[in-house]
Structure 1
Amino acid sequence: MPALIEPHDEFMGAVQQIILSSSETDYIDQLIPVMKDVRNSDRATNLIQALNQVSNDREAEIERICNSNHQEFISSVNQLQRVREGTVTLTAEIMTLSQSIEASTEKLAEQKKALVDSRSVRQNVDDATQALKDCLEVLRLANQVHDLLAKKNHYAALRVLDELQNVHLREVTRYKIAEMIERSVPATQRMIAEAVMADLHTWLFRIRETSQFLGEVAFYHTEMRRARQKERLEQDEYLGSFKLNSAVEMVADESEEFDVLNNEEVQVDFSPLFEAMHIHDALGQNEKFRQEYAATRRRQKELLLPTTLDLLDEEGAGLSSLLESIAGFAIVEKATMTRTENLRTAADVDELWDSMCQSAVTLISTALPTVDNDEKLLKIKGVIALFIQTMESWGYSVSSLDKLLLTLFDKYAQLLKQRFSEDFQEIVSTDDYMPMPIGNLDEYDKVINVSWYTPDKERELLSFPCVLPFSQMYPLCCIDIRNFLNHIYLFSDDHFQNLNVIDETLKNSLDELLCEKVSRSLVERLSSQYPGQIVQILTNLDHFETACQELQELLVEARSSASAAGPIVLRATEEFSTAKKRAEKRIFELVNSKIDDLIETAEYDWSSTYVPDMASPYMQELTRYLSNIMSSVLLGLPVQIKELIYFESLSHISTMLLALPFDQSIRRISPQAVHAFRLDVDHLVDFVRGLDNSVLMEGLDELRQTAELMSMGAEGRDKAEEEFFDVERGRKKFGRVDKMNGAELLEKVSQGSAAASAQAEAKVTSPTVDKKAGTFSNFSSRFGVNKGQS
C-alpha cells in the first residue's frame, strides 16, 4: 500500500547519497555507516532491495528516455556500438598497455624495493660512519691524553680526559667502546696522578740536591747583611745597638732586596708543585696528596741528615754542608707554606724544623768531644751563628740552637782555660824572678802598654837601660790575660743571646787562672830560702793585685750584657792580697830567722862586771844586715811594704831583746850587764833614727824605755821605782813598759847591783887577786865567751 512505508524505505536516503557520491572513496565512505547499521539478514535484504529499487528506477527512467528518443537512441546505440568497438579496441590496447604497465610496475616495484633496501643500507652506513666518527673522536681524545702525558702536559691531559668522560663518551654510550673507555678512565686518572707525582718527585729530588746550594746562597746573603749592618754601625753608633734580624735592621736593609729562591745563582720553580696540587684538586685527592707530600718530605729530611759528623775537618765542610742543607730544606718548606694553601701547615713545617734541629744538635754534641782546639771551636760557632741568623730571618725558632751555643761556649771556655792555664804555668815556672831589664824606649812602651803598671817617672825622664820592679812573668801574664779576654769576647761577636753567661764565665775563668795558675804557683815558690826570690815574688804579687783591681774596672766597661749592673769583684784580688801577706810573712820569717841567729849569738853575761865602751858585735852585725837587706834585697819592694817589713823586723828584734832579761833563769842583772844592754839598744835606736821614720821609732819605744828603766834601776832602785810607779811621770817616760815587767826588771837589776857591790867589797879585802884571771874574766864577760872557747 502506498500509505505504508516499506522496510527498505529507511535505506533510500542513504542509497541516494551513495549514488550521488562524487568518487569511489566517497561512495565507500557513505556505504560504511549504512553497513554498520545492518545487524541481521533482514536489514541486509532491505538494503539490497533498496539498491535494486534504485537500480530498477534508473532502468525505467532509461527505458522511458529511450522510448521517447528511439531514433536518437538507435543512433546512439550505433554510435555506442562503434564506440564499443573502439572501446574494445582501446580495451585491447589498454590491456596490452596494462600488461606492459604491469610488467613495468613489477620492475619498478623491484627497483623501488631495491631503492628502499639501498636507502636502508645507506642509512645504516651513515649511522655506522657517524658512530665510527664518534668512536674515532673518543679514541683520538683517549690517545691525546696519553700523548699529553708523554709531553708532560699533565693538566691538559686531565682536561682532555674530563672532556672525554663528560662529553664525548655520552654520545657513544650505546657502543661497547664507551664502556671500555669508561672503565679505563680511573686507570688513566691514576696514570696522570702517578705521572705528575713522578715529576713532583723529580722536582723534590732536585730541590733536595739544590738545598745545600740554596742554603749556601742564604748564608752568603746573611753575610752581606752583616757587612751592611757593620757599615751602618760605623756611620751611626745608635744602629749598633740593634742586632741582625731586629725590626730596625730589617727596615734599614729594605733597599737591598734579595730573593734567595730566585736570583742569579739559584732559581726554584714551584710550577711542578702547583701543577700537582691542581691536578689532585681536580681529581678530588687533596688530602691524599697532602699526606703523600708530607711523607715524602719526611723521608727527604731523613736522607738529608748524615749518621755521623766530622768536626775536625780543617775547612769545616761537613758542618757547613749539614747546616746549609738544613737551611735550604727549611727555606723551601717555609716558601711552600706561604705560596700554597692547606698543603703545609705551620705545625708540619715546625715539626720538620724541630726534628732537623734536634738531629743536628745531637750530631754536633756527639762529635764535640773530639774538638780540642779553641780556634776550631770558634769557627764551628761562627758557622752555627750564621745558620741561626739566617733561619731566624725566616721566622724559625732557634731556642734549641741557642742552647747548643751555650754548650759550645762552655767547651770553648774550657779549652781556652786549658790553653792559657798551660801558658801561665810555663810563664811562672820559667821566670827568673829578677827585676825585668829594659833596653830601649820601644821595649819599654810595649811592656807598659800590655801591663797594668803606672811608672814612677815620666817617660821622657827615663834613661836606658833601666829595670822595672816586676819580673818578666808579670807582663807576659798581662798579655795572656788580655788575649784571654779578647778570645772570650770573640764568642759574642756573632749571634749569642746569653751574654751574661760570657761575663760570668769570664770572671770565673779569670779567677781560676789567676788564683790556681799564678797566685798559688807563686805561693808554692815561697818555700825558697833565697830572700831575693821571695822579694821578687812579693813584688809580682803586689803588681798582680793592682792588675786585678784594674781588671775589675775593665770588665765592668767591657761587660757584654747591658742589663747587668754593679761592680765586678774578682776573687783573685783577695787571693793575691792573701798571697802577698804570705810572702811578707815569708820574708819576715827569713829576716827574723837571720835576726834570731844573730841575737842568739848575743849570750849576755847578766852577772858580768865588765863595762864595754861600744855596742856588741852581734848588734853591729844585726844593724849592718838590716841596712844591707833593705838597700839591696828589699830595694825593689814598694815603700809601704818595705816600711812594713822594717817595722815587723824591728818589732821582732825588740821582742827578742826584751825576752832576754826576762829569762826565768836570770835571777839578777849586774849594772855592767845593764850598761852593755843599754849600749846595744841605743845602737839599734840610733840606726833606726837614721832612717828618719817616726813610725819605726815608735816600734822601739818599749825596748828603749825598758833599757832606760834598767839603767835608772842600776843607778838607784828607789829613784827608779819612784819614777816608774808615779802615774804622771811613769806615763811620760815609761808608758810602753808593762808595770809587772818593769817591777820584775827593777828587782833583778837591784839584786844585781847588790851582788856587784858585795863582790867589789870582797875584792877590796882580798890581796891575792890574779890580774890575768881578772882580765880574762872581763874579756869573757864582754864578748860572752867561755874559757874553753878559742
Structure 2
Amino acid sequence: MKPPKSSAQEAAAGAGASYEDQLVSAIGNGEDLGPIVRMAFAANESDALLSSLRNLSRAKDGEIQALCYSHHSHFILAVDHLRSLLSDALSLKSSLSSLHSNLQSSASPLLESVQNLLEALNLSQNLGIALTNAGQCLAISRLCVHANAHLANRRHHQALVCLRILEAEHLGSTPCTPLGLMLQTHIPAIRDHIRQKAQQSLGDWLVEVRSTGRELGQLAISGAASARQRAEEIRQEPYALDIDDNPEPDPCASLDLTPLYRAHHVHKTLGLEAEFRHYYHENRRLQLVSDFQLSNMGPFLESHQAFFSQIAGFFIVEDRVQGVVGRAQDDALWDLALAKVCDVVDEQFSRMQAASHLLLVKDHASLMAETLGQSGFYVRPLFEALARHAERYHELLLRECGQQAREAVAAEELEPMVMRKAYEYDMNIVSFGLETICTTTPAFPYVAPFSAAVPACCRVVRSFIEDSVSYLAHAGLDWCERHRLVRVYLDRLLCGVLNEALLACSPATVSHAVQAVADVAALSHAFEHFEELAARLSGVITRRNTSKVAPLTPAMEKAEATLLSLLCTKLDEYIAMMETVNWVADEPPKGGNQYANEAIIYLETLVSTAGQVLPPEMLSRALKGALSHISEGIVAFLGSDAVRRFNGNAVAGLDADLRLLEGFAEGQGSEELKQGLAEARQMVNLLLSNHPENFLNPVIREKSYATLDYRKVVAISEKMRDSGAERLFGSFGTRGAKQNPKKKSLDVLIRRLKDAA
C-alpha cells in the first residue's frame, strides 16, 4: 500500500497532467513548445514541466519500439518474397538477352535502309528548293521579258504592272543575289524612263490639242450661232415645230484624249498624280498666256475670230478633261482668261470707229460666252463688259445711220416714186406699213405719194433697229431692259439724226416742197411700224399706241414753212397783178379782178396735184396759209404807196375777189380755210359798211373786226375818203349839197383813231 500523497504533491501531479496534455496537443499539431515552456517557468512549475516531458518521452519510446518491431517483421517477409522471385528474374534476363541478340541481327539491314532513306529525303528536299528557286528565277525572267516587250511597244501601263508584280512578289525574296541586285537597280530606272516617256507623250498631246483647240472653238461657236438662229426663227414663228433633223455635232467628238488618260494613269500608278497635275496646269497656263497674244497680232477685227475661238476651244478641252485634272485649277485659269478677255474687249471697243465692227466682235464674244456658259463657266462679267459699250456702239451706229439718211435725202430729186412691179410695192410700201396712206388700189406702174427717199430712210431706221436689238439681245440684258434701251436709242435716231437729215433738205420749187412735206408725213406714219418692229424683235408684246407720236416735228414744221414760203412767193406774183386794177373805176369789175382769178386757178391746180400726196390736214394748213397770205397781201397793197386812192367800186371789186376766194375755200370742204381771209374780209366789210364808226365800239370790233389793226384802218380809210367827188370837182361841185352819212361816219372813225394814236 502506497503512502498517501501530500497536498503539494497532489498539486504538482495535477499541474504535470495539465502540461502533459498541452505538450501532447502541441506536438500532435506541430506547434512550437516555447510558449508552454515560458508559461511553466513563469509559473515556477518547471519541475512539473520536466516531469511531463519525461512521462511523454517514456510513452513515445514504447510506441517507437512497437513500430520498429512491426517494420522489422514486414521487412523479413519482403526479403523472403524477393528470394522467391530471384529465379524468375534470372530466367527473364536470359530470355531478354536472347531476344536482344535476335533483334540486332534482324535490324541491321533495316537501319542501313533508313540511313539511305534519310539521305534520299535530304537530296529530294535540296532538289525541290533548287527547282523552286529556278522556277522563281524563271518567273522573274519572264516578267522582265514581258516588261521589255511592253516598253518596246510603248505599253507603259502593262510594263508598270510587271514592275509592280516584281516588286510585290519577287524583289524581297529573290533566290539569286545578282538577279535581286539587278532588279533593285533597274526597276527605279525603268520607272523613271516610263515617267519621262509619259511626260513626253503628254507634252506632244498638249502641243496637238493647242493646234486643234481653235478648230474645236470654231465648231462650238458655229453650233451656238446655229442654235441662236433657230431660236430666233422659232421666236418669229412661234407655231412652227422645232424639228432638228441635223443636230449639231459634238465639237469634242474628234478629240483624242487617250494620251492624256494614259499619262494620267501612268503617273497615278507611279504615285505622282500631284506632279502630273502640276505639270499639266503649268503647261496649259503657259499656252493660255500665249493665246492671249493673238489679240495683239495685227488688227483685232481680223484676228478676233481666231482669238475667241482659241479661248473657247481651250476651255472646252478643259471642261472635257476636268475629271482627270480637277476643276479648281480650271476655275483659276478661267478667272485669268475672263479678266484678260474683258480687258481686250474694253481696249479694242474703245479703238473701233465702225458700229459694224463692234457688232461683229460682240457677236463672237457673246457666242463664246454662251458656249462656255453651257459648260458651267461664270461668264456674267463678259456680258457686263459688252453691255458697257452699248452707248459707244449706238453713237457710232447713229453717226453711220445719220450719214446714210443724209445721203438718201440729198440724192433724191423730190419726185414721186414709181413702182412697176408688185415686189417693189411690197418692198417699199408694205414692208414699212405705208399701205394705209395709199388710198388707191395699186395698179402698176404705181406712183407713190412719196419719193424714193422715204423707203431709203425707212430702211436706214429698220437697219438701225435690227442692229440695236442684235447688239443688246445677247449682252446679258433682260427683255424689258433691252426693249427700253432700244426705244431710247430709236428716239435719238428719229428725233435727232433723222430730223437733222430732213432739215438739210431745201426744196427750190413748190412741187418739191409739197413732196418734201409728203415725205416727212410718210415717215411719221411709219413710226408706229418701227415701234412695233422694235418691240417684236425685243421679244415684247405691246399694245398698239393710239396716240400720235411726232418725233419729226421740227422737220415737219420746216418743210411746211418752206412750202408755205415758196407758195407765198408764187402768190406774190399774182398779188403784184393788183397794180393793174382800176382803183377809181366807174363800176365794179364783173367776175372779179384778174389777179384773184389767176390765184384761184393756181390754187386749184395745187390742190389737184398736192392732194394726191399730202394728207388732208397738211394740205388744209398750206391752203389756209396761202389764203392768209393773199388776205395780208390785199390789205398790205391797199395800204401801200401803189394805191393812192380808191373808190367804192374798187372795194366792190375786192369784195367780189374775196367771194371767189371764199368759194374756193368752201369748195375744199373746210370752213377753217375761210378764216385765212379774215383780215381782208373784215377790211372790205368795214369799207362797205354804212357806219364805219362802229369799229370804235369794242364789242362790235371784237365780234366783226378782231383781226384789223387800227393803223391800217386809218391808212386805208383815208385813201377811200380822199377819193370822194370833191377831189374830182373841187369844192364847187359839192357846195350846198348834203354830206354823205357814210362819209361822215368814216371821217369820224379816222379822226377818233388818230386821236387815240
TM range (shorter): 0.5 to 0.7
Gap change, CA 1:280 and 1:209, over 3 Å in 2: farther
Give me the identity figure in percent.
21
Could you tell me which residue of structure 2 aligns to residue 194 of structure 1?
196
Gap change, CA 1:569 and 1:291, over 3 Å in 2: farther
CA shift at 1:395, angstroms? Answer: 1.5
Letter in 1 for 2:282: A
CA shift at 1:580, angstroms? Answer: 1.8
Q: For 1:305 and 1:514, how far apart are their aligned partners in 2?
A: 41
Q: For 2:208 and 2:720, how far apart are their aligned partners in 1?
A: 116
**SS state of the match for residue 397, structure 1?**
coil
CA shift at 1:578, angstroms? Answer: 2.2
Could you tell me which residue of structure 1 aligns to residue 449 of structure 2?
469
- Kindly indicate whether the alpha-carbon contact (under 8 Å) linking 1:310 and 1:367 is maintained by their aligned counterparts in 2: no
Could you tell me which residue of structure 2 aligns to residue 105 of structure 1?
none
- Note the alpha carbon deviations across 1:170-229, whole angstroms, 9 max, x for none: 447996986786577655544443343334334444444443454456557657867887
CA shift at 1:560, angstroms? Answer: 0.9
Gap change, CA 1:307 and 1:328, over 3 Å in 2: closer
Q: For 2:199 and 2:449, how far apart are their aligned partners in 1?
A: 82
Match of 1:677 among 619, 636, 651: 651
- Note the alpha carbon deviations across 1:624-648, whole angstroms, 9 max, x for none: 1343144137454333223222222
Could you tell me which residue of structure 2 aligns to residue 402 of structure 1?
383
Tell me whether 539-548 or 500-509 shows the greater mean CA deviation.
500-509
- Kindly indicate whether the alpha-carbon contact (under 8 Å) linking 2:521 and 2:556 is maintained by their aligned counterparts in 1: yes
CA shift at 1:535, angstroms? Answer: 1.9
Q: How does 1:293-692 map to 2 (within 5 A)?
A: 293-304=280-291, 306-308=293-295, 322-338=307-323, 340=324, 343-344=325-326, 346-359=327-340, 383-403=364-384, 406=387, 420-438=401-419, 444=425, 447-454=428-435, 467-486=447-466, 503=483, 506-507=486-487, 510-511=490-491, 514=494, 518-526=498-506, 528-556=507-535, 558-562=536-540, 574-595=550-571, 599=575, 611-614=586-589, 620-632=594-606, 634-635=610-611, 636-658=613-635, 672-692=646-666
Gap change, CA 1:750 and 1:292, over 3 Å in 2: closer
CA shift at 1:334, angstroms? Answer: 2.2
- Note the alpha carbon deviations across 1:232-291, whole angstroms, 9 max, x for none: 889974998xxxxxxxxxxx9999898765x5x44432531441342243xxx4433332
Could you tell me which residue of structure 2 aligns to residue 289 of structure 1?
276
How many equivalent residue pairs? 604
- Kindly indicate whether the alpha-carbon contact (under 8 Å) linking 1:225 and 1:253 is maintained by their aligned counterparts in 2: no
Q: For 2:236 and 2:628, how far apart are their aligned partners in 1?
A: 62
Match of 2:266 among 276, 280, 292: 276
Could you tell me which residue of structure 2 aligns to residue 712 of structure 1?
689
Letter in 2 for 1:290: R
CA shift at 1:295, angstroms? Answer: 1.5
**SS state of the match for residue 415, structure 2?**
coil
- Kindly indicate whether the alpha-carbon contact (under 8 Å) linking 1:609 and 1:756 is maintained by their aligned counterparts in 2: no
Letter in 1 for 2:605: S
- Note the alpha carbon deviations across 1:409-448, whole angstroms, 9 max, x for none: 7787677656654543333222221233455767555543
CA shift at 1:349, angstroms? Answer: 0.7
Gap change, CA 1:700 and 1:517, over 3 Å in 2: same
Gap change, CA 1:612 and 1:560, over 3 Å in 2: same
Gap change, CA 1:357 and 1:179, over 3 Å in 2: same
Letter in 2 for 1:684: L
Q: For 1:765 and 1:253, how far apart are their aligned partners in 2?
A: 108
Q: Does 1:736 align with 2:682?
A: no
- Kindly indicate whether the alpha-carbon contact (under 8 Å) linking 2:401 and 2:460 is maintained by their aligned counterparts in 1: yes
CA shift at 1:545, angstroms? Answer: 1.6
- Kindly indicate whether the alpha-carbon contact (under 8 Å) linking 2:479 and 2:539 is maintained by their aligned counterparts in 1: yes
Q: For 1:465 and 1:170, how far apart are their aligned partners in 2?
A: 105
Letter in 1 for 2:589: M
Q: For 2:588 and 2:467, how far apart are their aligned partners in 1?
A: 70
- Note the alpha carbon deviations across 1:583-633, whole angstroms, 9 max, x for none: 222233233345556556757999x8764532899x632551343144137
Letter in 1 for 2:452: Q
Could you tell me which residue of structure 1 aligns to residue 115 of structure 2?
none
- Note the alpha carbon deviations across 1:332-356, whole angstroms, 9 max, x for none: 3223323x4xx42x33112223334
- Note the alpha carbon deviations across 1:737-786, whole angstroms, 9 max, x for none: 66966985798489648x744764535499xxxxxxxxxxxxxxxxxxxx
Gap change, CA 1:307 and 1:728, over 3 Å in 2: closer
Q: For 1:232 and 1:599, how far apart are their aligned partners in 2?
A: 65
Q: Does 1:703 align with 2:680?
A: yes
- Kindly indicate whether the alpha-carbon contact (under 8 Å) linking 1:434 and 1:471 is maintained by their aligned counterparts in 2: yes
- Kindly indicate whether the alpha-carbon contact (under 8 Å) linking 2:450 and 2:522 is maintained by their aligned counterparts in 1: yes
CA shift at 1:660, angstroms? Answer: 6.0
Q: For 1:616 and 1:476, how far apart are their aligned partners in 2?
A: 48
Gap change, CA 1:197 and 1:610, over 3 Å in 2: closer
Q: For 2:333 and 2:568, how far apart are their aligned partners in 1?
A: 76
CA shift at 1:683, angstroms? Answer: 1.7
Q: Unpaired runs of 5+ in structure 1?
A: 1-122, 241-251, 714-718, 767-790
Could you tell me which residue of structure 2 aligns to residue 211 of structure 1?
213
Q: Unpaired runs of 5+ in structure 2?
A: 1-124, 736-757
CA shift at 1:547, angstroms? Answer: 1.8
Gap change, CA 1:625 and 1:724, over 3 Å in 2: closer
Q: For 2:617 and 2:237, how far apart are their aligned partners in 1?
A: 50
Q: For 2:256 and 2:559, how far apart are their aligned partners in 1?
A: 72
- Kindly indicate whether the alpha-carbon contact (under 8 Å) linking 2:499 and 2:554 is maintained by their aligned counterparts in 1: no
Gap change, CA 1:521 and 1:328, over 3 Å in 2: closer
Letter in 2 for 1:624: E
- Kindly indicate whether the alpha-carbon contact (under 8 Å) linking 1:145 and 1:161 is maintained by their aligned counterparts in 2: yes
Gap change, CA 1:688 and 1:278, over 3 Å in 2: same
- Kindly indicate whether the alpha-carbon contact (under 8 Å) linking 2:217 and 2:310 is maintained by their aligned counterparts in 1: yes
**SS state of the match for residue 525, structure 1?**
coil
Q: Does 1:762 align with 2:731?
A: yes
CA shift at 1:396, angstroms? Answer: 1.8
Q: How does 1:243-282 map to 2 (within 5 A)?
A: 261=252, 263=253, 265-269=254-258, 270-281=260-271
- Note the alpha carbon deviations across 1:712-742, whole angstroms, 9 max, x for none: 35xxxxx543x5567887777x353669669
- Kindly indicate whether the alpha-carbon contact (under 8 Å) linking 1:485 and 1:506 is maintained by their aligned counterparts in 2: yes
- Kindly indicate whether the alpha-carbon contact (under 8 Å) linking 1:211 and 1:328 is maintained by their aligned counterparts in 2: yes
**SS state of the match for residue 394, structure 1?**
coil
**SS state of the match for residue 470, structure 1?**
strand
- Kindly indicate whether the alpha-carbon contact (under 8 Å) linking 1:709 and 1:742 is maintained by their aligned counterparts in 2: no
**SS state of the match for residue 705, structure 1?**
helix
Gap change, CA 1:595 and 1:365, over 3 Å in 2: same
**SS state of the match for residue 623, structure 2?**
helix
- Kindly indicate whether the alpha-carbon contact (under 8 Å) linking 1:413 and 1:505 is maintained by their aligned counterparts in 2: no
Q: For 1:727 and 1:380, how far apart are their aligned partners in 2?
A: 74
Gap change, CA 1:142 and 1:682, over 3 Å in 2: same
